[in-house]
Amino acid sequence: CHRTKGKDEL
Amino acid sequence: MNIFRLAGDLSHLAAIIILLLKIWKTRSCAGISGKSQILFALVFTTRYLDLLTSFISLYNTFMKVVYIGCAYATVYLIYMKFKATYDGNHDTFRVEFLVVPVGGLAFLVNHDFSPLEILWTFSIYLESVAILPQLFLISKTGEAETITTHYLFCLGVYRALYLFNWIWRFYFEGFFDMIAIVAGVVQTILYCDFFYLYVTKVLKGKKLSLPA
């Protein structure tokens, strides 16, 4: 699973 | 940011504002589930705690603050200002049946076992089912005001657009978040029955009423 740090989506 | 994401966010914002304006203009929250609105306030509160820890963009911060502010304003209107018009007798969905299992699941299935991440996961799972008290209320009373159906439609469209956003991001950015995607699919499915009624009744100028 791959995810950016900090949530850019609301 | 892609067009699906932006349109989804704006649809979500439209839903929230439609609901606030409906309550404010009619001075009534009849037909609105206060329980769903409390759940949404809880969703935004637990999800946007990262406002305190990280800065993404002005857009991001602005929208998060607006969503949280509107959610609490809605709860205030329902339970304080226009309490007399609140449909408490019909708003009888047992929210503990949602919050407790969702809380447990957030502990068990998450990306990282840290407080912020568990709360974020909790908010994602909870959002996917937070509309159930509202749908339950409508099924109990057998009808919904047209403006309420516009609110629900915008909320459902927001989730559907996010699914397209994730397809886009998977192809063009290699990005995917399994927790968000599975919860988003569940959430969208919950709206399908409503979408059907919306298209077949409300868009043809009829009030949404369910057969007895």
- Selecting from A2, A5, A6 the residue whose C-beta is nearest the C-beta of B176 gives A2
Is the minimum CB–CB distance between B9 and chain A shorter than 8 Å? yes
For residue B36, what are the CA distances in angstroms to B72, B83, B104, B129, B136?
12, 15, 20, 9, 10
Answer whether B56 sits within 8 Å of A10, measured CB to CB: no
Helix axes B115-129, B178-200, angle to 10 degrees: 20
Q: Which two structure tokens, joined as six digits, stand for B139?
A: 């099924």
Distance CA B210, CA A8 (A): 39
pLDDT tens sequence across B155-181: 999 999 999 999 999 999 998 899 999
pLDDT tens sequence across B104-134: 999 999 999 999 999 999 999 999 999 999 9
A5 CB neighbour count, 10 Å cutoff: 7
H/E element holding B9?
A: helix B3-26
Q: Give the rounded percent of residues in chain B with a pLDDT score beyond 90.
A: 94
Q: Could you state, in order of their start, the residue ranges of all structural domains in chain B?
A: 3-88+95-201
Q: Which of B65-69, B142-146, B201-205 has the highest mean pLDDT?
A: B65-69
What is the per-residue pLDDT for A2? Answer: 44
Residue of B nearest to A5 (CA): B54
Answer whether A2 sits within 8 Å of B174, measured CB to CB: yes
- Selecting from B50, B111, B165 the residue whose C-beta is nearest the C-beta of A6 gives B50
* ipTM summary value: 0.81
What is the per-residue pLDDT for B211? Answer: 78
What is the per-residue pLDDT for A6? Answer: 55
Q: Are B157 and B11 in contact (CB under 8 A)?
A: yes
- Among B74, B69, B25, which residue's Cα sits nearest to residue B51? B69
